[in-house]
Amino acid sequence: MRRLLRRAALLAFHAAFVRPVVRWFVGVRYRRKGFVPEGPCLVVSNHNSHLDAAVLMTLFPMRRLPHAHPVAAADYFGKTWFRRTVAMMLMNGIPIERTPRAGEDPLQPMIAALESGEALIFFPEGSRGEPGVVAPFRSGVGRLVQAVPGLLIVPVFLSGPERVWPRGQAVPLPLGIDANVGKPRTYASDGEAREIAESVRRDVLALAPPPPPVPGPRPRPPIRAAVCGIEPEPRDALLVATARRLGAHGFTVGLSDPAVEADEGGVREAGGGIPVARSRAWIGLLARIFRTGGLYRGYRFAEMVEKARMDEALEDGRTARFVAGGGSALVDLLAWAEADLYRGVFDERELLRVLHYLSGERRIPFLQWWRFVRKAPEVWLLNAFDLAHLKVPGICVLLRSSPAAALERARTRGRTLEAHETRVFLAMLQEGYGRVAALLRRRGVEVLEYDAADLDAEAVSAEVAAHCLRLDAAAGAPAAGTT
Amino acid sequence: MGALREVRTAMPPIVLALVLLLLLAAPFAFLAGTRGGRFRAMPGWLGFWVLSGALLVCLSRAPRSFSFPFLGAMLFVGLKRYFFLAPVRPQDRWAILVAYLWIPAALVPAYANRLLVLESAVAAGLFVLLPLLLSLGARQAGMFDSLGRLFLGALLFVSGGAHLGILAHEPPGRLELFAIFVLLAELPQRLVGRPRPGGILRSASGLLLAFGLCAGVGAWLGPLAGLARLHGLLGGVLVAAVVTAGAFLADATAEEFGLDTAAKRFGRGAFLDRAVPALFAAPAYLFYLLLLP
């Protein structure tokens, strides 16, 4: 009976107070709310306000509320009867001792809850810190991962609660909150607890929106380097090496799968790849309807668009000083179009026109639509629906390989070949890259060509980084992320 | 046909004109919306105007005890979205709170049709209360930025909204005519491309169409709102001009807040983009009507 009453009180409190206040008074926008899994999980977020737990509770549907528990500091929320009632009963919290007695494991109730299939909301910073500052995560989250192998962690970044109701303020103001949910993932449980906590923190930070612009002149766009070629493995190896070198000079984003970020501390994966938002799944459907092919078939076209949009978002220069791409959507699509659709019969002017269509500089004339829908649906979709404006890289690194040798190497690496990866087609694609490179050179893009077979990633990355730094110096005032 | 005739007799002609205009704009908005890019927002813009049209018809014809809370809620939502985007200093919380409380305080004189009291409250708030609240407390850099941002928010979502409230006391039909003017001024400009400072010539066709449509429809529908044809025409031109200026302001604000590039504060800027031109035009339209003989 007591349990039933508690559950009724919890549901009534959330239905009548928490949800209306959070949704209508404060105003929360969720991004990728659907990522929150049905089963047991640990929702981990930055912590700046008492509102954080209430906002994270609204990520769960009402029916799951009795199985979702925010973890609340026992020393603070257990202090008075009022706080205890609100935090433990009405918010369904689980108390945690921040200063446990000797021999006591403060995480034990959480481990038990996770093992019994409950979902927890956890703030690894331990306390509400400075507004807008994400403090280092305590090792508790790492210890939970170690104790519950395979634990699904959902990173969430909350922006806004620190303004709505910061620490030390009596009155919350309705100013809006963004809850940016990341892809749930597991962490290897054999690592150090601190290291795990640091990786979780990086995943949470990867979801943070760029800082608001300050008045005055804008930072210049980042320097873009794209590594292209028909073989993905040497391309990705060179991308990582280049990102590491550039990272030593300024914050660098590597757009590959998974995305990487690099700074003085080295290269690391950023936020578990570039997932397609649910609201943009229609792009994949469009691609299926218009039968985009090969590398851009169906959902992969949506992924390419998502990556291109991420690249567009970096254009403002506030986040990264360098952007290195494992392939460039623009160069790859141009080479693809040249190889697959026009089979070398295109003249350069035509290729230049397609470049303008892809970069959004021009619209495909209405009378040409049918031709493009039939022959190059990827180009048409991007241009007609204005899905993304593909960026021309400042430096294009072209890795040349012999198609036969590339196929052989792919087989020896055990990679499953795709339908389009035939010797003839790869030769045409290589030829396409060559033509695109010539076109880019005439547009003032620096094109560096190397043989992929005997590629020394370290030496080549040093050369690419030197070119990038030269362009960076020529561009003038440094962008954001300068170290 | 019979049903149509019934609708025509049951619905005042100016309201019918507004509904027909929204219906006519729908295919344009949805077709343009499928093109993506800057047209992506067109269906949302139309949705906003369906809601705003309902609000303006309510203000014009429904009991004020019903329509004013509706207006207050819209202004609250607008101000909330504005302050989410406009970064101010942590110490300006009290000024923000006052801006929220100012909404009911400005709607009370609007409810009572006391324009002088409203203008005095707006002036006192903008020129005395806000600067005072911003200069209290510990000294922090950025007071001028905060002042500008709070001014703009209060001017649009408190003062502009309260002037809409005063317009509710005008004879029925004038608020609907205002909605028609704003729609007609905005639709061509949004389809052709909004004028931007320095690039007005490129969007000249949209501007000309907007002014022409507003003037023509003003002369045609003016009598339905109790205005002479010439006054309707001039009113249309005035609203088109002020809406264009409001669009400049909305674009500049969006740029200031970093809303002009992809993947920023998702979806938060759309409301401002849609509401600012209309709220900017409301006081000008009110004073124009008050100046008419």
Q: Which pLDDT tens digit goes with each residue over A454-468?
A: 778 888 888 888 988
8 Å CB contact of B80 and A169? no
**A–B CB contacts, 8 A cutoff, strictly below:** 74
Nearest CA-CA distance, residue B45 and chain A, Å: 18
**pLDDT > 50? residue A481:** no
> Is the pLDDT higher at A311 or at A111?
A111
Q: Which pLDDT tens digit goes with each residue over A224-240?
A: 888 888 888 888 888 88
CA distance A167 to A129: 8
Interchain CB contact of B261 with A (< 8 Å): yes
**Which candidate in B253, B266, B272 is best for mutational testing of the A interface (most A CBs within 10 A)?**
B266
Residue of B nearest to A312 (CA): B262
- For the segment A171-194, the average pLDDT, to the nearest whole number, is 87
Closest CA to B107 of B53, B169, B171: B169
Confidence at residue B266, expressed as pLDDT on a 0 to 100 scale: 47
**CB contacts, 8 Å: A31 with chain B:** 266
**A330 residue type, one letter:** L
Interchain CB contact of B270 with A (< 8 Å): no
Q: Which pLDDT tens digit goes with each residue over B14-27?
A: 899 999 999 999 98
Range of the domain at A386: 223-475
8 Å CB contact of B97 and A27? no
8 Å CB contact of A175 and B80? yes
> Are A137 and A229 in a shared domain?
no
Query: Residue A276: pLDDT band by 50, 70, 90 thresholds?
Result: low
CB A426 within 8 A of CB A406: yes
**CB contacts, 8 Å: B256 with chain A:** 213, 215
Q: Which pLDDT tens digit goes with each residue over B192-218?
A: 777 666 666 667 888 888 999 999 999
Domain membership flag for residue A352: yes
Confidence at residue A480, expressed as pLDDT on a 0 to 100 scale: 47
**pLDDT > 50? residue B261:** no
DSSP A342: I
Residue of B nearest to A177 (CA): B84
**pLDDT > 50? residue B262:** no
Q: Which pLDDT tens digit goes with each residue over A432-459?
A: 888 888 888 888 888 888 888 777 888 8
Confidence at residue A255, expressed as pLDDT on a 0 to 100 scale: 82
Nearest CA-CA distance, residue B81 and chain A, Å: 7
The beta-carbon neighbor of B80 closest among A174, A178, A385 is A174
Q: Where are the beta strands (DSSP E) in A248-392?
A: 252-255, 260-263, 266-269, 322-326
- For the segment A77-93, the average pLDDT, to the nearest whole number, is 87
**CB contacts, 8 Å: A160 with chain B:** 84
**pLDDT > 50? residue A479:** no
Nearest CA-CA distance, residue A368 and chain B, Å: 16
**CB contacts, 8 Å: A384 with chain B:** 35-36
> Are A166 and A262 in a shared domain?
no
Omega before A124 within 30 of 0, i.e. cis: no
First to last CA, chain A: 61
8 Å CB contact of B261 and A27? no
Confidence at residue A212, expressed as pLDDT on a 0 to 100 scale: 61
CA distance A310 to A308: 5
3-class DSSP state for residue A393? coil
Say what percent of chain A tops pLDDT 70. Answer: 91
Q: Are strands A119-122 and A41-45 parallel, antiparallel or unpaired?
A: parallel
Angle between helical axes of A348-358 and A329-336 (0-180°, round to 10): 140
Q: Which pLDDT tens digit goes with each residue over A379-419?
A: 888 888 878 888 888 889 888 888 888 788 777 777 777 76
Last residue of one domain, picked from the residues A170, A205, A240: A205
Residue A68 backbone phi and psi in degrees, to 5: -115, 130
CA distance A264 to A194: 20
Q: Where are the beta strands (DSSP E) in A13-111?
A: 28-31, 41-45, 68-73, 94-96
Query: Residue B289: pLDDT band by 50, 70, 90 thresholds?
Result: very high
List all residues 6 or more positions away from A482 whose beta carbon is below 8 Å from its beta carbon: A250, A251, A321
**pLDDT > 70? residue A345:** no
List all residues 6 or more positions away from B8 whose beta carbon is below 8 Å from its beta carbon: B16
> Are A131 and A258 in a shared domain?
no
> Are A230 and A186 in a shared domain?
no
Q: Are strands A68-73 and A223-229 parallel, antiparallel or unpaired?
A: unpaired
- Tokens (6 digits) for B61: 């014809």
**CB contacts, 8 Å: B257 with chain A:** 212-213
The beta-carbon neighbor of A131 closest among B36, B84, B90 is B90
8 Å CB contact of B81 and A27? yes
Closest CA to A162 of B77, B140, B92, B90: B90
List all residues 6 or more positions away from B223 whose beta carbon is below 8 Å from its beta carbon: B229, B232
Domain membership flag for residue A480: no
How many independent structural domains does chain B possess? 1
> Are A160 and A242 in a shared domain?
no
Mean residue pLDDT of chain B comes to 85
8 Å CB contact of B84 and A213? no
Query: What's the CATH number where A247 sits?
Result: 3.40.50.300
DSSP A185: B
**Which candidate in B31, B91, B93, B143 is best for mutational testing of the A interface (most A CBs within 10 A)?**
B93
**pLDDT > 50? residue A145:** yes
Domain membership flag for residue A38: yes
> Are A178 and A238 in a shared domain?
no
CA angle A113, A117, A119 (to 5 degrees): 70
> Are A229 and A190 in a shared domain?
no
Residue of B nearest to A169 (CA): B93
- In this prediction the ipTM stands at 0.71
Closest CA to B197 of B258, B257, B245: B245
Find the DSSP H helices in A206-292.
232-247, 281-289
Classify the phi-psi angles of A455: left when phi > 0, otherwise alpha if psi is within -120 to 50, otherwise beta: beta
Q: Which pLDDT tens digit goes with each residue over A73-82?
A: 888 888 888 8
CA distance A260 to A325: 10
Domain membership flag for residue A483: no
**Which candidate in A22, A159, A175, A255 is best for mutational testing of the B interface (most B CBs within 10 A)?**
A175
> Are A10 and A74 in a shared domain?
yes
8 Å CB contact of B34 and A385? yes
CA angle B237, B241, B244 (to 5 degrees): 140
Residue of B nearest to A315 (CA): B261
Confidence at residue B229, expressed as pLDDT on a 0 to 100 scale: 92
Nearest CA-CA distance, residue A332 and chain B, Å: 22
Confidence at residue B36, expressed as pLDDT on a 0 to 100 scale: 63
- For the segment A116-131, the average pLDDT, to the nearest whole number, is 86
Query: What's the CATH number where A144 sits?
Result: 3.40.1130.10
Nearest CA-CA distance, residue B170 and chain A, Å: 32
Q: What is the largest CA-CA distance in chain B?
A: 70
Confidence at residue B55, expressed as pLDDT on a 0 to 100 scale: 92
**pLDDT > 90? residue B219:** yes
Closest CA to A440 of A394, A475, A401, A474: A394
How many independent structural domains does chain A possess? 2
Q: Which pLDDT tens digit goes with each residue over B84-143?
A: 888 777 778 888 898 999 999 999 999 999 999 999 988 888 888 888 888 876 677 778
**A82 residue type, one letter:** F
Q: Which pLDDT tens digit goes with each residue over B37-79?
A: 667 778 888 999 999 999 999 999 989 888 999 999 999 988 9
Nearest CA-CA distance, residue A314 and chain B, Å: 9
**CB contacts, 8 Å: B37 with chain A:** 360, 386
Beta bridge partners, A449, equal A398
Query: Residue B281: pLDDT band by 50, 70, 90 thresholds?
Result: very high
CB A171 within 8 A of CB A159: no
First to last CA, chain B: 41
Confidence at residue B33, expressed as pLDDT on a 0 to 100 scale: 73
Confidence at residue B272, expressed as pLDDT on a 0 to 100 scale: 81
8 Å CB contact of A176 and B80? yes
Range of the domain at B97: 2-291
> Is the pLDDT higher at A288 or at A279?
A288
Residue whose tokens read 């339908």:
A419
**pLDDT > 80? residue A330:** yes
Mean residue pLDDT of chain A comes to 83
8 Å CB contact of B258 and A171? no
Angle between helical axes of B64-85 and B143-154 (0-180°, round to 10): 150
Domain membership flag for residue A168: yes
Residue whose tokens read 């990173």:
A155
- For the segment A244-258, the average pLDDT, to the nearest whole number, is 84
8 Å CB contact of A169 and B262? no
The beta-carbon neighbor of A178 closest among B40, B87, B265 is B265
Q: Which pLDDT tens digit goes with each residue over A13-39?
A: 999 999 999 988 888 888 888 888 888
What count of Cα atoms within 13 Å lies in the side-chain half-sphere of residue B68? 22
The beta-carbon neighbor of A385 closest among B35, B76, B80 is B35
Confidence at residue A314, expressed as pLDDT on a 0 to 100 scale: 79
> Is the pLDDT higher at A276 or at B134?
B134
Query: Residue B265: pLDDT band by 50, 70, 90 thresholds?
Result: very low
Query: Residue A277: pLDDT band by 50, 70, 90 thresholds?
Result: low
Confidence at residue A482, expressed as pLDDT on a 0 to 100 scale: 42
Residue of B nearest to A360 (CA): B37
8 Å CB contact of B265 and A316? no
Confidence at residue A354, expressed as pLDDT on a 0 to 100 scale: 86
Query: Residue B264: pLDDT band by 50, 70, 90 thresholds?
Result: very low
Residue of B nearest to A166 (CA): B90
The beta-carbon neighbor of B87 closest among A212, A315, A386 is A212
3-class DSSP state for residue B218? helix
With 0.90 as the threshold, say if the pTM is over it: no
